[in-house]
Structure 1
Amino acid sequence: MILPTKGISASRALLTVGAEVHGLLKAPTSVAALWEEFSNSRKQAGSRERLTFDWFSLALSLLFSMGLIEIGNDGRIGRSRVSPPTVGE
């Protein structure tokens, strides 16, 4: 699920989807606006694989657990201002 497998293509792996989402986060935004921007960017790129909102939310959960995004007091999602912990800390 997180990495590509025999049953999950590289473009659907949560790490890949998370990287795409993280790249779109230029400024704090709502989940709905981020989902819309993500969907549009995949369509413009000509992606044939349709990703559901469930899969998108799993990618957000992965990014949050990795410390790469944070949720502001206003409920908007943005890039984390704190460096994620390194292995062994």
Structure 2
Amino acid sequence: MITPTKGIAPDRALLAVGAQILLQLDEPLTVSQAWARLRSWREAHDHRSPLSFGWFVLALDVLYALGTVRMEQDLIVRGRAHAATTVG
């Protein structure tokens, strides 16, 4: 589900959909704007695998868990990249 499997096409794997979402986040977007942009992008790039809104939300959840997106004032924004820290 998170990565491609025998039953999940590579363009539907949550990490792939998450990467596609990140491509749309050149500026902060509402959830609706991000969903519309992603659907347009997938159509323009011939991704024919069906993608439901629920699957889109799951991909957002994965991105949030990884720290690559966050919500600010009802907008999805790219997360801040932090270098790994060590406890010494």
CA contact (8 A) 2:9 2:49 kept: no
C-alpha distance in structure 2 between counterparts of 1:22 and 1:28, whole Å: 11
The match for 2:70 is 70
- Name the SS for the 2:4 alignment partner: coil
Letter in 1 for 2:78: R
State whether structure 2 residue 60 is matched by structure 1 residue 60.
Answer: yes
User: Identity of paired residues, percent?
Assistant: 37
Gaps of 5+ in 2: none
State whether structure 2 residue 17 is matched by structure 1 residue 17.
Answer: yes
Shift of 1:82: 4.2
Scaled by the length of structure 2, the TM-score of the pair is 0.90
Tell me the number of residue pairs that the alignment of Structure 1 and Structure 2 aligns.
Answer: 87
The match for 2:50 is 50
Shift of 1:48: 1.3
Structure 1 residue ranges, 4+ long, deviating more than 4 angstroms after superposition? none
